[in-house]
Structure 1
């Protein structure tokens, strides 16, 4: 088998790169050892959002009376049905990518791919049969897995990662979630909302530590209001899994505390899948534990490229997709712009939702900018009030000298959809006044963006 472009891995980096390469006229093959669509479609982005939608439906049903709807009888969360729906949604999405592969005449080689030498990949299938595949251009898109810590070693039963958290046989009565990034916060929110007693442990001073401090504190207040136990500035020292319940020793500034829970979910980040794929055989350089690439994802070995979670930059599906497109367009002789890592949106699909792009207020000040900050609360939004989602705000940060948008930070209903407007605004270098004069529809939550911009320039109407 011989190809112009061979992609190892079919996640949101790999499958997007493959489709774009096919569109550009290349003969394309994809090596995949498991499910088409990778972690995102099968075990990450898509199935978790399905679970969170089930959680939202449950919450609406519980509070139906607040909306003038009467429901007779007890509202119950059917955990098994929620998990089944999640798996069905993921399965449907994976089939969708398989259809796109057929449509674009992309060939799938099932098995584990390893670089053998320049232009050659060895693929080993489940039965151990090995096939040699050649290609002019090889793109590594092998993704990442749940990170393991020595004192938090996952056994898949009592100490679990994100995969097991999506497919547990039964809902646990209690759970300790370690790490409050997007994965940890979303699972903590889901399980707590459907009745599991959850403790969320975070090593840093705030939850979602990469987000703006005000956003993080608002999310923490929301979780605490729902009676979730939160422990920040805390580290898990050890977990004893010998008994019926796990004994989790957590160290805080006040000393050590032992928690008991049926399940411990480790959400302390991810580790890139760069082992045993032949990097050493070809002498491919690493940097800070990831594959070293240039602006167009070329490694130091001609004809070999790398994208997604195995290279520098945030480990996000949409980043991997953008990198894959940029990589193959460069291979095709186009002149793509490098990915702008200063304009990458981040979303956490908790309730309330969190989204952001660009610099936080703190980082903008540290970078030496004189800034204008505008903030508009959801409590002043007619649409948010009508929707029963008054918690949250939109916060915009502008360069005081030129009016350029430096960062946007939002928490509340629908903000993961609203952030795209600000990514475009930042890309086009729109000023604060241009945002103010861009008429937003009423009533919408997106009006809060226009109002926050107006607040930065003392022109806000509804505050």
Structure 2
């Protein structure tokens, strides 16, 4: 039996927790079955967003005609693009390992519980008074042999000439945007009428309208069968009416959601409980039903976002090693979809406000009063606020348009410090910066509230 001060199962964001605790002089066991850095750095957020950079440049060239510029693309060196991406991925594990000092012992393998306080990896039993589960999630398994999940494309060593992507969420849309922009013949299959169904309906509607102009999408369509023959998939598609047609694609990628990794942990040997979806239950202090065992990040199945996981890991460090006993409550959880169009969102949607029967005003304003926004020659960008009628509290903000993920941080600042939309109305903006488009959006929301108050 090897004894430690802390055992961590999962070397993604929690690698930083191991490094910080190791610097305190405490003995840490860090268990990782694959590469340090986790899904985000190796197979998710970072490598995919590096590709988005190339896609953005290519889109701007392809769409330059709206600025009265006739342009063409002479060559896309897609092999070099993916080579650079693969080289980044190859460097991640070493960079994370370099953070660890001699107090952190790294175990490469699958960690599982023998009891509430004992973990086994590679036949070695470990124990500690504090154990952190940070095992993240995995993509749902594709139903056909040789089909890919998102885990299979980073690193991507054989670039397909054509790809069919199944899904309607942000991973499917981001990857469809990237592959299409890079010159890979891309088809997106969606089983319903809607893309990004978790977004506010107005955002989802405009996104569908604009995204469909770029990407070949078949709605109300499912795959009845897919057979891999040598280097291509022969795919049988079925629409909502039952009509069948054939489709051929070199690659078939499923992006249909993610699920818990908890099955690898042998939790039946512990008091740790799972929820109905198979994620690990915890209290407001991240503690599971087993004393001294905590869970952070996607393994708890709550927010499933890297920035949330990082925030949780940082808070857990303070709770466990700085004696700060306040629970972590995310009042607001922002997210973004890095596609073309780009989306950013925080708080509730209009539909949620109606379902909860909230006394709120919904205000929607385009960006076109900003000269910078006007210069992009796009008519669709807008900001939508959901605001409490009595307190002026921003309950939700939703944006669609270039740089939305950057723009929304101005709203987030107000929401976190003193959530009152009047601050956005009264502040000084640089003219004619893109973020100036928030000014009329805030003015309109305040006007709408005052009209209702006066009526």
1:149-164 to structure 2, matched below 5 A, reads 152-153=143-144, 155=145, 157=146, 159-164=147-152
Output one character per residue of 1:259-290: Cα deviation in whole Å (capped at 9) or x when no partner: 33222110001121112322111232111111
Q: CA deviation at 1:120?
A: 2.3
Mapped partners of 1:372, 1:134: distance in 2: 54
Q: Does 1:216 align with 2:204?
A: yes
Q: CA deviation at 1:242?
A: 4.2
Mapped partners of 1:450, 1:264: distance in 2: 44
User: Which one of the candidate residues 301, 307, 323 is aligned to 1:318?
Assistant: 307
SS at match of 1:368: coil
Q: Does 1:239 align with 2:226?
A: yes
User: Which one of the candidate residues 214, 226, 240 is aligned to 1:253?
Assistant: 240
Judge conservation of contact 1:83–1:166 (CA < 8 Å) in 2: no
Judge conservation of contact 1:50–1:89 (CA < 8 Å) in 2: no
CA RMSD of aligned residues (A): 2.7
Match of 1:306 in 2: 295
Can you give the 5+ residue segments of structure 2 that lack an aligned partner in the other structure?
Answer: 449-455
Q: CA deviation at 1:74?
A: 4.4
Deviates more, 1:194-203 or 1:391-400: 194-203
Mapped partners of 1:241, 1:175: distance in 2: 13
Q: Give TM-score scaled by structure 1 length.
A: 0.87
Judge conservation of contact 1:58–1:75 (CA < 8 Å) in 2: no
Q: Does 1:207 align with 2:195?
A: yes
Q: Does 1:82 align with 2:73?
A: no
| Change in 2 beyond 3 A, CA 1:65/1:249 | closer
| Change in 2 beyond 3 A, CA 1:248/1:115 | same
Mapped partners of 1:97, 1:67: distance in 2: 44
Judge conservation of contact 1:272–1:290 (CA < 8 Å) in 2: yes
The size of the alignment, in residue pairs, is 445
Q: CA deviation at 1:237?
A: 3.4
| Change in 2 beyond 3 A, CA 1:3/1:449 | farther
Judge conservation of contact 1:21–1:329 (CA < 8 Å) in 2: no
SS at match of 1:446: helix
Q: Does 1:138 align with 2:131?
A: yes
Judge conservation of contact 1:389–1:413 (CA < 8 Å) in 2: no
Can you give the 5+ residue segments of structure 1 that lack an aligned partner in the other structure?
Answer: 125-129
Q: Give TM-score scaled by structure 2 length.
A: 0.89
Match of 1:127 in 2: none
| Change in 2 beyond 3 A, CA 1:329/1:179 | same
Q: CA deviation at 1:411?
A: 1.2
Q: Does 1:334 align with 2:331?
A: no
Mapped partners of 2:425, 2:114: distance in 1: 57
Output one character per residue of 1:297-318: Cα deviation in whole Å (capped at 9) or x when no partner: 1111111111222213121111
| Change in 2 beyond 3 A, CA 1:23/1:370 | farther
